[in-house]
Amino acid sequence: MDIRYPGGKKYQVPKLETSGQKDYGNRGMTFEEDINESNKYYLANGIAVIHKKPTPIQIVEVDYPKRSAAKIKEAYFKTPSTTDYNGVYKGRYIDFEAKETKNKTSFPLKNFHEHQVIHMKNIIRCGGISFVLIRFSTTDEVYFLDGNMLLKFWERMKAGRRKSIKKEEIVQFGYSIPIGFRPRIDYIRVIDSIYKEFF
Amino acid sequence: MDIRYPGGKKYQVPKLETSGQKDYGNRGMTFEEDINESNKYYLANGIAVIHKKPTPIQIVEVDYPKRSAAKIKEAYFKTPSTTDYNGVYKGRYIDFEAKETKNKTSFPLKNFHEHQVIHMKNIIRCGGISFVLIRFSTTDEVYFLDGNMLLKFWERMKAGRRKSIKKEEIVQFGYSIPIGFRPRIDYIRVIDSIYKEFF
């Protein structure tokens, strides 16, 4: 299967969110970094514009000193009501969440907040493309799981059954994404192959 | 012109970003609140899923006390690299920025950061719908200006000419949005009328 990317022009790359993380020592690239690098690649090559949303924060106290930047002195992390990544590919709305687990045989659904799952449902109803990227960190495997499939496993949990997705179910219903060089995690390739009727 | 909204089901409404603002006294609704209310309306009626992005913040120091939530003790506001609002309508990627001015005869372009304008350009190239909502606060008028038009005025400024858009240009090239009850600022109605070929 060929991937046809629209246009071919180089864009000026805006500075991207890095979530304040800077130093990874010898740990290599994190999953989030891999995704951000992939998004930078898509952006620089005019393929897609996908950004990670800033972490939602509740600000309580801000100091406005003279002659220097406003300093936030008290704030708290808020539970996100949406997914972390969204943007545009060929005019379509793209929306996803990225999660990793150290588990070897299953992916625990407690990795998602109820709000995020409701958000995914809303996105799908409005014609957007919703999915999750799941990384099994011990084996460095990444899977693409369509939002509709995630909703099914979520419903199964709400019905009082499994609180996780078996790895073999992810293998069966998801799509394995080999780790590449550029882009590191080519999820657009999966979108191209499974949502053909959308474009 | 009739507006045809897809589906008609009520959704469960996720909690929305409110930017930490809570008390407006007798000031009435702010522009941001009006837009957030409109987005809630679109969401609750299954029309569109549009959220305001959280404010990007650079976290410097976090305290992790036992038995209570992590407390951010030092952080700074970052310059946003994208626009404030994005989401999905009929499968399409929607992206916009909302700005208001106290000026009566023009809208100063210094309200935008270069990064945001580059972001708009990228969105348009990838087939997304990009626009700005401009409010003249003294007269409480709101205009919808397509991203392509904004880019033209931006280029004019970069060429050393006007650093603002004349109000009469906004009236001529934009679309006036009457303030309604539900939704307060019905920008989807404008999208429906001017981007017909997109759907």
Task: Give the Å distances, CA to CA, from B97 to A5, A44, A48, B24.
Answer: 27, 22, 19, 22
Helix-then-strand count for chain B, H and E: 5, 10
A-B CB pairs within 8 A amount to 158
Instruction: Please answer whether residues B111 and B126 qualify as being in contact, where contact means their C-beta atoms are separated by less than 8 angstroms.
Output: no
Task: Write down the mean pLDDT value for chain B.
Answer: 87
Does the domain at B31-53+80-198 match CATH 3.40.1350.10? Answer given as yes
Q: Do B71 and A70 touch (CB under 8 A)?
A: no
Least confident of A159-173, B40-54, B62-76, B152-166: B62-76
How far A149 CA lies from chain B's nearest CA (Å)? 19
CA nearest to A78, candidates B17, B22, B21? B17
Whether residues A76 and B69 touch (CB distance < 8 A) is answered with yes
Q: Give the C-alpha separation, B39 to A93, whole Å.
A: 16
Taking the CA atoms of B111, B116, B118 and B124 in sequence, report the sign of the dihedral they define. negative
CA distance A54 to B54: 6
Please tell me the total number of residues recorded for chain A in this structure: 199
Query: Using the beta-carbon criterion (under 8 Å), do B72 and A57 form an inter-chain contact?
Result: yes
Residue B57 identity (one-letter amino acid): I
Query: Which is more confident, A183 or A1?
Result: A183
Which residues of chain B lie closer than 8 angstroms to A47, CB-CB? 126
Task: Tell me the pLDDT tens digit for each residue of B15-71.
Answer: 333 333 433 333 467 999 999 999 999 999 999 999 999 999 999 999 998 888 899
Span A9-46, pLDDT tens digits: 332 333 333 333 433 343 467 999 999 999 999 999 99
Residue bearing tokens 């909703």: A151
Q: Which amino acid is at A165?
A: I
Closest CA–CA distance from residue A71 to any residue of chain B (Å) = 5
Query: Quick one: CATH architecture of A31-52+80-198?
Result: 3-Layer(aba) Sandwich (3.40)
Long-range contacts at A73-76 (CB < 8 A, ≥ 24 apart): A73/B73, A73/B74, A74/B71, A74/B72, A74/B73, A75/B57, A75/B71, A75/B72, A75/B75, A76/B69, A76/B70, A76/B71, A76/B72
Distance CA A127, CA B89 (A): 7
Give rounded-to-5 percent helix, strand, coil for chain B. Answer: 30, 30, 40
Dihedrals phi, psi of A102, to nearest 5 degrees: -90, -10
Q: What is the pLDDT of residue B8?
A: 35
Instruction: Please tell me the predicted confidence (pLDDT) of residue A101.
Output: 96
| Beta bridge pairs of residue A166 | A106
Are A53 and B54 in contact by the 8 Å Cβ rule? The answer is yes
Helix, strand, coil % (nearest 5) of chain A?
Answer: 30, 30, 40
As for the ipTM of the complex, it is 0.84
- Secondary element (H or E) of residue B151: helix B147-158
- Could you list the residues of A known to form a binding site, using ranges: 82, 84, 97, 116
